[in-house]
Structure 1
Amino acid sequence: MDSQFLVPENQLQEMKNFFENKDFAEAVESVKRCLEDIDQVPLNVAVTGESGSGKSTFINVIRGLGDEEDDSAKTGVVETTMVPSPYLHPHHRNVKYWDLPGIGSPEFQPMDYLQMVKFHQYDFFLIITTERFRECHILLARAIKSMGKKFYFLRSKIDSALKGCRRGRTNCCKDEDLLKKIHEDCVNGLRAGGIENPRVFLISSLEPEKYDFYLIQKTLEDELPSHKRHIFLLSQPIFFHQALEKKRKAFVAQIWKWAIMSAMNVATSQRPGVNSMSCVPYLSANGDLTLMVNVLEEYKKAFGLDTRSLMILSDTFGKDLEDLRSVIGTMTALEEITPELVFNHLKSYGLTDMGRIVTACVNQYVPQIGTLASGGIAFGTTYLTLNSFLSAMAEDASRVLRMALPTSD
């Protein structure tokens, strides 16, 4: 068997810890709660800045949306946000980006502003500007810090800034030197205003594959509490190969939990007189194919292989939609994922037989699985099915990204 389908040692140990010295049903319930908690963790991101700073466009891009979609934040050079406006992630409804009212008016008072926008509900603040950070940004950052919240500075529309630097100059510096100069100017200005060790990220929402867009994603992921890190990672758009690999690893870590749920479902629904050596009929009859369909749909959307995501990728980077589709090799990613499709995959690839091998391996750490008859085989079969589809979809997503961004790596 391909080594990629073997259960890693760290997962085996995690399973053992879950089930050791516990009633089996109680341990399974703990696994179920763990999966539910991952999907229900709330994440609230505050995006603030002056009118015309690019808040709304950034919110759309970070959610993987275009500016013209129904769920998009309103964009424009005139301030369109008078009250905090929440924008939900299209696939993770517990992830919200809040477009806050603009700052910078002569009467701006940061403490009053934070009270008005209910600052306690946000996990962190993103302070955006298109030019140098001004006193209003510094005052707001100080107030946020005094209240124990994290904040990050984003210098947006950096593509336009670079063009402005080159305009009328025949011997202009390289982009790297210009970016370094802009970054240093921002940092020095913030330090002069009393902000210690300011973290500044240069971004372009029109060219999200460039500059510091990935760096801000990685920084936020690294600095979020562990229980919120997972949902933030899965909600990020696919512009970088590093993010693809992180998502794949995050999903791999969950597979054994879904396999446990499948095994328990099959075991508790077992009917007398049915051949216990094949779990495929049980998976079909007891709804566990639907369980797999739901998980595979999550993979598909997280990797940007659904039609909506592909269309946005096509529009964002000026690539033909059919060219992007042409590099997708997994039929599951191209077609509607149904119980019948998964069922045919199980039969075609003989995963039930390989599932017995996986179950035998896991049984050394969690002996209770071996007592579940067809449920035990269901564990191995579900584990292998999700693993094989995940691997294929991750490879598809990488090919699509290379097609959209030939120079990205």
Structure 2
Amino acid sequence: MSIDPAVVENKSPTMSEEEFKAAVQVGNLRKAASIAQQMMKSPGLFEIAVVGESGSGKSSFVNAFLGLADDDIGAAEVGMVETTEWSTIYSHPEYPNVFLWDLPGIGTPHFQSVEHKITDTYLSGYDFFLIVTATRFREIHANLARKIQENAKKFYFVRSKVDQDLGAEKRKPNYSEARTLRQIREDCQAHLQRAGVNDTQVFLLSSWESDKHDFPLLKESLDQELRHAMLQKLLDTSCWTLQEKKTALQKTTRKQADFSGGPGAIPLPGLSLVADMAALMDCMRDYCKDFGLNSDSLSALAEQVGKREEDLKAVIRSPLATDIKIDLVLKLLEKCVGEGVTFLTYFAWSVPVVGALFSAQVSFGTTVFMLDNFISDLAEDTQRVLAKALEGEEKKSRQHHQELNLPVMHGKKPNQSNLSWRQV
């Protein structure tokens, strides 16, 4: 059964992502966190490629992962000869937007060679990879692993059919299952390291015993990857949104500087100081509120995510709205122009005409520079606050999913099950 590629490959933002972006844009961090928490419970589009040589047990692994027997309707075809001739897609048993792709065996005519087919463009079509092998680690696996990491993608190395290895070892004296599994794992890790591939998880399993060895751990780890990918996507969205907001707000600092520089040009000692400080303090407090870094917003956010408000404030490096006082603003201005602020102020007051005009120009430039920096700091602080607020949500979302006690899906959606429209 064929499928419109747009059904699977449409990666435009969902409505929830747009709502999350809109909440960040207006500084409603509590709503942004609430949307993120909901999205973490059901990860968005995520495509997993199952790759390996012919006969490595890829299709059997896919069936075991989906909770299907090899002869169930909709199961991946398995056999003694190469049976996967096309890239075939299967929906995840728990998440409707997550798909497993069973690819033709590496080295077969349908896949050709790693060098020929594993290109940057090809790899970009998948979010995660499971490299499956039933034999010892070979150079073809090293080439594939390196290429995946070069493209900033992640993968797990799956050593399948360990039941056969254990069966063979049982005939030897002093047999130990734990020692045999440890030796297989260490061998895989050693070959990966020699190939220049580090920090990679290795899972040992048997598709005939999906409740034993590393199979449960693989599912749990992959579940964490899904949620982490969703969280990272949201944080990337917030980062770009805050950058756009920063740019827009920095355009408003010129208007504030005009107001600040005007009174500064009047040769009356003290007038510029009073006018500037009052206006700048109000302006800076408004910026804090715009980003959601005021007390009310932070309190609501802390309540939403179940964290202490003090912990959220601890990652903020710029002044809080309640801390914005005259002495603080003076320190920030002083930081922008150094010790010359005192001299320029005296110069403006002691030379009424020339000094005042010069002071007005300096006041404008200093105010713009200080406010631009302040806005930039607020954008970075907001990103840090959101990251802190959503810290640990992967685990909380997983616990929520487990509490629902959802059954494993043995069937698939009519328009998404056992679909093969993309040839490798």
Normalised by the length of structure 2, the TM-score is 0.45
Bigger RCO of structures 1 and 2 (CA < 8 A, at least 6 apart): 2
Question: Larger radius of gyration, structure 1 or 2?
Answer: 2
Normalised by the length of structure 1, the TM-score is 0.47
